[in-house]
Amino acid sequence: MPLNRTETRQTIGSYWEASVPQARLDRQLIGNAVFDVAVIGAGFAGLSAALRLAQAGVSVCVLEAEHVGYGASGRNGGFCCLGGTKLDEHSLIRKFGLEEARRFVAYQVAGVNLVAQRLDSWGVHADRHSKGEIYLAHRPKDFAGFQAEAAFLKENFGIKARVLSKADLDAEGYGGPTFHGGMHLPYGFALNPMAYVQTLADQVRRAGGRIFAKTPVTGISRDSDRWHLETPHGLVRTKKVLLAGNGYAREDAPRWLHGRTLPVMSSILVTRPLSDDELSAQGWTSDTMAADTRNLLHYFRLLPDRRFLFGTRGGIFENAQSLAAMYDRARVDFDDMFPAWAGVEAEHSWYGHVCLARNLTPFVGEVPGLGGIYAAMGWHGSGIAMASISGDKVAGLMLGKLQPDDLPVPLRRPFAKFPLPSLRKLYLQGAYWWYGWQDR
């Protein structure tokens, strides 16, 4: 029996929080302090930057409104994969030329490799699984385009994608009535993101970086050669600042951010562990990370403990009614795509903010007109690898070890303001209807 809607709306909390030991709670900033660099936000980006800075001997603090991993870094699907922009490879070539598009894709691959190397060198397994990821065609016409797309990726980027027919999918454990074929990309792996972000924070502390929890930065002002960061119980004076708040950033800290990013929601449900019979009833036994070909995509994977993780994009307004509708829609989609599990309880469900930009690409660099303030944000819902490597690179810029030209052009464009920023969410609502119609 499918669950009734009230049951599906229950938010029992993040599976990742339940699956890792209680995190260390860093202390709040109380009083005034001076650091060479202050980083705003303790997610993959901010912590990656703080790690490189601390390892270089710079005095660095991370100011976090809540706690390490509170933002998307502790809430995501754990797909460490290529991505970070809403522009596909065709658009990247059109906009930036083949060479820059190649550099950008190589940067994404380097991001995936960086996360793997970190976990290896820190001796952390973080429940890794999945060799690469697979895209599943939700319509026959999407499958019909896969051969040409695979040839395009190989010719232009050297990516060896493999196309799988419906029969291949069934034989390899990707069973589902709505999948018409697949395309596998050999990059990426899945991980427990909370385990990764907590270990990253440990590395920052070990290298001498300070992390302050419950310390939201509420305002930024300048006095002679220092920036002043206001927090509820203290003030930080610093030469350089990194904005790494992503989808959780306050638009007034600094005011430059106002109207330049668009936080939207993504939600995840995780079932109870599935039995052998349940897995074979659905025909899904693969542990490969998967996503469908919709604009408003679904992403899903079988976890090592045989729970099934199912995520959806969408959800614009963060009120009780919209959140309930978002969870209901996710459950309906899950039941349609995996009908053999329609009665299986979701033991965990939660959501988080991803960060979109008008340019549809991230920004990694110094903010124009605000000397000493840098930003590393805007991963468009795919930030495990991208935020990790970009945090490291922006620290290289702050240290003077890298120049802006060392980064691919798509990352170097400061966020443009959205026209009529107060109407951003309404435009997005319109875009979602359009995408939903196109996805049919």
Minimum CB separation of residue 169 from ligand FAD in Å reads 21
Minimum CB separation of residue 264 from ligand FAD in Å reads 9
DSSP state of 215: -
- Count of CB atoms within 10 A of residue 383's CB? 31
**Is residue 320 helix, strand or coil?**
helix
* Interface region with ligand FAD, contact rule CB under 6 A, candidates 75-83, 167-175, 178-186, 271-279: 75-83
Among 39, 51, 61, 78, binds ligand FAD (CB under 6 A): 78
The pairing of strands 31-40 and 234-243 is parallel
Using CB under 6 A as the binding rule, whether residue 246 contacts ligand FAD is answered as yes
* Interface region with ligand FAD, contact rule CB under 6 A, candidates 40-48, 115-123, 144-152, 410-418: 40-48
| Terminal-residue alpha carbon distance, the chain | 27
- Mention every residue, 6+ apart, whose C-beta is less than 8 A from residue 430: none
Among 15, 16, 35, 44, binds ligand FAD (CB under 6 A): 44
**Is residue 276 helix, strand or coil?**
helix
The CA distance from 153 to 146, in Å, is 10
Using CB under 6 A as the binding rule, whether residue 303 contacts ligand FAD is answered as no
Minimum CB separation of residue 44 from ligand FAD in Å reads 4
**Is residue 229 helix, strand or coil?**
strand
* Interface region with ligand FAD, contact rule CB under 6 A, candidates 34-42, 96-104, 273-281, 366-374: 34-42
The CA distance from 226 to 209, in Å, is 19
In the complex with ligand FAD, which residue's Cβ is closer, 76 or 143? 76
**Distances in Å between the alpha carbon of 54 and those of 196, 386, 404, 411?**
18, 20, 21, 24
Using CB under 6 A as the binding rule, whether residue 234 contacts ligand FAD is answered as no
Using CB under 6 A as the binding rule, whether residue 315 contacts ligand FAD is answered as no
Q: Where are the alpha helices (DSSP H) in 208-267?
A: none
Among 15, 35, 70, 187, binds ligand FAD (CB under 6 A): 70
In the complex with ligand FAD, which residue's Cβ is closer, 130 or 282? 130
Using CB under 6 A as the binding rule, whether residue 241 contacts ligand FAD is answered as no
Among 29, 45, 236, 397, binds ligand FAD (CB under 6 A): 45
Q: Which residue's CB comes closest to ligand FAD?
A: 383
Among 64, 89, 292, 333, binds ligand FAD (CB under 6 A): 64
The CA distance from 220 to 237, in Å, is 10
Q: How far is CA 79 from the centre of its chain?
A: 8
Minimum CB separation of residue 281 from ligand FAD in Å reads 26
Query: Which residue has 């969870």 as its token pair?
Result: 327
Query: Do residues 63 and 212 touch, judged by C-beta distance below 8 A?
Result: yes
The CA distance from 76 to 146, in Å, is 27
The CA distance from 293 to 369, in Å, is 40
Site mask for ligand FAD (CB under 6 A), range 178-217, x = bound: --------------------------------------xx
* Interface region with ligand FAD, contact rule CB under 6 A, candidates 21-29, 61-69, 138-146, 395-403: 61-69
Contacts (CB under 6 A) with ligand FAD, residues 372-391: 377, 379, 381-384, 387
Q: Which residues pair with 174 in a beta bridge?
A: 284
The CA distance from 53 to 2, in Å, is 51
Residue count of the chain: 440
Q: How far is CA 408 from the centre of its chain?
A: 19
Using CB under 6 A as the binding rule, whether residue 268 contacts ligand FAD is answered as yes
Using CB under 6 A as the binding rule, whether residue 253 contacts ligand FAD is answered as yes
Using CB under 6 A as the binding rule, whether residue 71 contacts ligand FAD is answered as yes
* Interface region with ligand FAD, contact rule CB under 6 A, candidates 76-84, 110-118, 393-401, 421-429: 76-84
Any idea what the Cα angle at residue 142 is, between residues 141 and 147, rounded to 5°?
105
Minimum CB separation of residue 349 from ligand FAD in Å reads 10
**Site residues (vs ligand FAD, CB under 6 A):** 40-46, 63-66, 70-73, 75-79, 216-217, 244-250, 253, 266, 268, 311, 351-354, 377, 379, 381-384, 387
